[in-house]
């Protein structure tokens, strides 16, 4: 059977990233501490920080003072509707958001908080599955 002459059927064409960018506000909240406090009202561009422990222990995730656990800090960005995952890989060059068993997670959170405050008014863009990353300037 011979193929018909003429243009091929037009398939899906991407429209690019149609989601608006969000400016980081420079305000940081601590999960299980600030979000349960009275008067918790996040604004567009606020960041919620919390820890992810890589060991298989059933520890309290809100215990930021405890030694002996290793893991990393995760962040979520408020987009006006709720907190969505925000990637810290582009914000930190050398895995500075990881903590070891010999340091308290709150110390690493405070270091990350200082660095993220310097990124105030930088833009974050939404990618797949409602994940946000720091947009290039």
List, for residues 4-45, the tens digit of each pLDDT value. Answer: 666 667 677 777 777 889 999 999 999 988 888 888 899 999
Cα-based distances in Å from 123 to 4, 5, 17, 32, 70? 49, 48, 14, 26, 30
pLDDT tens per residue across span 42-57: 999 999 999 888 776 6
Plot region of 57 (φ>0 → left; ψ -120 to 50 → alpha; else → beta): beta
Q: Measuring CA to CA, how many Å separate 3 from each of 9, 11, 111?
A: 13, 18, 64
Longest dimension (CA), the chain: 73
Question: Contact, 47 vs 83, CB < 8 A?
Answer: no
Q: How far apart are CA 29 and CA 119, in angstroms?
A: 15
The mean pLDDT value for 75-79 works out to 94
- What is the per-residue pLDDT for 77? 95
- Provide the pLDDT for residue 49: 94
Give the distance from CA 110 to its chain's centroid: 16
Residues 6+ apart with CB under 8 A from 105: 51, 64, 65, 66, 69, 71, 73, 99
Rounded to two decimals, the pTM is 0.81
User: Could you state, in order of their start, the residue ranges of all structural domains in the chain?
Assistant: 27-134
Contact 134, 124 (CB under 8 A): yes
């Amino acid at each position: 059977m011979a193929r018909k002459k003429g243009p091929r059927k037009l398939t899906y064409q991407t429209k690019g990233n149609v989601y608006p960018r969000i400016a980081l506000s420079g305000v940081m909240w601590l999960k299980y501490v600030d979000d349960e406090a009275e008067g918790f009202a996040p604004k567009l561009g606020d960041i919620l920080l919390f820890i992810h422990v890589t060991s298989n222990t059933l520890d309290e995730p809100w215990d930021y003072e405890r030694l002996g656990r290793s893991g990393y800090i995760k962040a979520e960005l408020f987009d006006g509707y709720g907190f969505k995952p925000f990637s810290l890989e582009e914000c930190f060059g050398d895995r500075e958001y990881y903590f070891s068993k010999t340091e308290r997670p709150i110390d690493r959170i405070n270091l990350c908080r200082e660095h993220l405050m310097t990124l105030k008014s930088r833009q974050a863009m939404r990618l797949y599955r409602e994940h946000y990353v720091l947009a290039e300037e």
